[in-house]
Structure 1
Amino acid sequence: MHHSLVDWHEAKVPDHRVLEGFHVRLEALDAVRHGDDLWRHFHGTNSDPNQWDYMFSGPFVSQSDFDAYLKRITKSDDLLLYAVIDITSGEAQGFLAFRRIIPAHGNLEIGPVNFGAAMRRSVRSTEAVYLLIEEAFALGYRRVEWKCNNENERSKRTAERFGFRFEGLFRQHFVFKGRNRDTAYFSILDNEWPALKAAFVRWLADDNFDDQGRQIQTLAALRRVDTTDTHYKKSET
C-alpha cells in the first residue's frame, strides 16, 4: 500500500490569546467574569427554550448550578473555552471551544458551541466561528473538526453553511441523556481553508449588509465567487 509523505511540522498549542473581530471578541472564558451575562442570555426571559437540547449538561434550575458548571468546564483538560463578547454591548453572549487538540497530528475540534438567542442567525455568531477556525489554521493545524448529534439539524446546517464537509456517521457512538446518539462528523482541511476564508471575509465586510443589517449575499453564494481577498475590510462609503 502506498503511503503519501507529507512535509509536516507539529502545530502550535493554542495559547488562549484574545481574538478580536469587528463584531465580537473571543477571550478566555471566566466563570466569575462572564457568568452573570451567560446566565441571562442562556436562561433569561428571552432565552431559547431549546438551548440545551443537544448539550451534555443543562438546562440549569439555578444560577449557582450554572456557575458550578462553568467552573467545571473551564477546568477541563480537554477544553479551551472562549467567551464571545459582543463588542457593542460588552456582554458575553455565548461561548465556544477548541477541544481534542492534537498538535502532533495537526487536528483539533471546535465544540461545544453554545450561543445565546441574541446571537442566533447573527453576524456575531458567524464571526465567532470564523475567528476560531482562522486561529486554528494560523497555528498550523491540518484539520478542523465539527461533530454533532445527528438529530441536531441546526448544528448540521451550520456546519455545512460554514463550509465544513460531511464525512460520515459514527453509529451508536454513545448514550446521550439516556438516548442513543449517532454522531455526524464534518471537517475543513488546511488546503480548503484559503477559499473558504476568502468567502467569510467577503461575507463579513460592511458592504455585504444593508441598512437593516440584512445580508446581501449568502456565505454559500460567496464561496462560488473567485476572490483573492484574505483580510477584513470596512466599506469605503
Structure 2
Amino acid sequence: MSLPPNFCFPVPDLSSDKVKLTPFDITKHSAPLIASTAPHPSLFNYLSWDPFPTADAFNTHFFDAYMTPSDDRTCFAVLDKTASPSSPSTDPQNEDYALAGMITLMNASPVHRSAEIGWVLTLPNYQRTHVTTHAIGLLLRYALESPAQGGLGLRRVQWIAHSENEASVRAAKRMGLRVEGVLRWHRVIVGAEERGKVGGREVGGDGYGRVEDRGRDSVVLSVCWDDWIEEVDEAVGGGLFIT
C-alpha cells in the first residue's frame, strides 16, 4: 500500500520523459529498495538512519515510526522510465519501470509556503545518470510553479546536507539551489563510529555529551520562488521534458 494521504499537500505522480515519481508503495517498493541497498551500506554514511536489514524493518522504523505520523512529510519512489525492472509485473495496470531510488518532501508548511527536499537515495546502478537530476527537478518544479501551472506555489524549498557530504551539496547546487550558510554543531550523531558514520566533529570538553556522539555541521541551501521565476526554471526545468 502507498502512504496514507495525510500529507499537507496533494501527492500526485510527477513525470518527465525519463523519470517518474510516484507515492511510495511499501508493498511494491520496499523489498526491491532494501535488496538493492543491502550490498552498499555506504549509501547510509551521511544519513541519520542505518542500513535496514529487511523490508519489514524499513517499513516499521522508517514509514510507521517516522513518515506516517506527521503530515509534513511524504515519500516518492523514483522510477527510471528508460529501464525495465528485474521482475516485471504481471498486472497489466502497472507500468514496468525500474525502481531507481527514493526521495522525500519534508518539513512542509502550508502556512509558510515552504518545504525541504530530503532523503535523496539513488541506487548505485542509477548514480551518475539522468535519474537524480530528473527526480530533484520534478520536485522543484512541482513545489515552485504556481497553482495555475500545476504547482504548489511555495516560496521556498530548502536542502540540508552534512557539511562533508560533497556529493549532496554538488547535486543541490547543480539544480540551482544556493548555499545560505553552515549550521555548526547542528546535530548529534549518536554512536557515530560504531554505526559506521562518516565525518563529524568530536566533543572536546566534559559535560557536553559523549565523545562517541560526534557533532554534525550542516550546509543549508535553498531556492526560492523569485529565484525560480528569474533563472532556475529555465536552467533546470528546461532540461526536463514533463509528460
TM norm. shorter chain > 0.5: yes
String of CA shifts for 1:174-203, please: whole Å, max 9, x gaps.
202332011110000111113212122444
Match of 2:78 in 1: 84
String of CA shifts for 1:6-30, please: whole Å, max 9, x gaps.
xxxxxx9421111111111111112
Shift of 1:63: 4.1
Unaligned ranges ≥5, structure 1: 1-11, 205-231
- Equivalences, count: 193
String of CA shifts for 1:106-146, please: whole Å, max 9, x gaps.
11111121111122111111001000011101211001000
| In the alignment, structure 1 residue 193 sits paired with structure 2 residue 228 | yes
2:107, 2:156 → 1: CA distance?
Answer: 12
Match of 1:135 in 2: 142
For normalisation by structure 2, the TM-score amounts to: 0.73
2:142, 2:55 → 1: CA distance?
Answer: 32
String of CA shifts for 1:62-115, please: whole Å, max 9, x gaps.
444234334334424142111101223212221111111111111111112111
Question: Is the Cα–Cα contact under 8 Å of residues 18 and 26 in structure 1 kept in the other structure?
Answer: yes
3-state SS of paired residue (1:171): strand
Correspondence 1:61-72 to 2 at 5 A: 61-72=53-64
Unaligned ranges ≥5, structure 2: 1-6, 85-96, 145-150, 191-212
Q: Which amino acid in the other structure matches residue 191 of structure 1?
A: D
3-state SS of paired residue (1:51): helix
Q: Which amino acid in the other structure matches residue 148 of structure 1?
A: A
Structure 1 runs (4+) deviating above 6 angstroms are none
**Residue of structure 2 aligned with 1:43, choices 10, 14, 38:** 38
Once superposed, what is the RMSD of the aligned Cα atoms? 2.1
Correspondence 1:1-237 to 2 at 5 A: 13-44=8-39, 48-72=40-64, 73-77=66-70, 78-87=72-81, 88-89=83-84, 90-137=97-144, 138-177=151-190, 178-194=213-229, 195-204=231-240, 232=241
Change (3 A) 1:18 1:34: same
